[in-house]
Structure 1
C-alpha cells in the first residue's frame, strides 16, 4: 500500500495534476515546521511521501523561486500554531513535551495520517 500511494502521488504530479491541494500542502509544511522533530513523522510513510511532494509543490528545493501563495499560507498556519502553543496548557502525561495542540492540527493529523498524539 505504501508504494502504491507514493507511485500515485508521483504519477499525478508528473502528469501535471495536483494530488494534494495547495491548502493541504501549506498545512503539511506548517505542521512539519513546528513539530518537525516528532518521531511520529519519521515512521509514517504517507506523511513522508506528502512532505516530499509538498516541498516540490511549494518549490522549496534547490534554487527555485518558492511559490508565493503557498508560502504565505504556510506562514499563516505557522503563526496560528505558534500563537496557540504560547498559551497551551500541559496535558496529563509522563512526557514534558505533551501539550495541547490546535484542534485543526489534531483533526488533520488523525484523519490524514492516523497520528493521534504529537509531541513538540
Structure 2
C-alpha cells in the first residue's frame, strides 16, 4: 500500500535506524513509520502497537503544512483492505468507542473517511 519499507527509530536518539534491521525490528513494541506520496499528497502513518496509538498526517506537498494531523488513541487494529481495485487503510477502534472505523483511500485517489460520535 505504501510501496516502501517502514522506518524504525533508533534506540539512542529517535533517528531512523539504519536499514530494515534496526535494533527494534521486528519487536512488537517498535514504533514504525510508513510514508507515501499519492496524487500530490504526502501521507505519513506512525504506528505504536504497544500503546494502541496511531498518528496520521496528510500534507498537500512534501514538507508542506499539515492538512490533517490525527493522534489516535485506543486503536484496536490497523490493516489494509484491497477491494474492487481500491487500496484502503483501515483503522479500527473498540466496539464501545465513540470513533467509528477510519478509512484512508490511497488508490486511485486520496480520500479520508471517518466518523466520531462523542455521545456514544
Q: If the TM-score is normalised by the length of the shorter chain, which range does it land in?
A: under 0.3
Pick 1 or 2: higher relative contact order, CA cutoff 8 A, min separation 6: 1
Please give the TM-score of this superposition, normalised by the length of structure 1.
Answer: 0.24
Greater strand share, structure number: 2
Greater helix share, structure number: 1
Please give the TM-score of this superposition, normalised by the length of structure 2.
Answer: 0.24
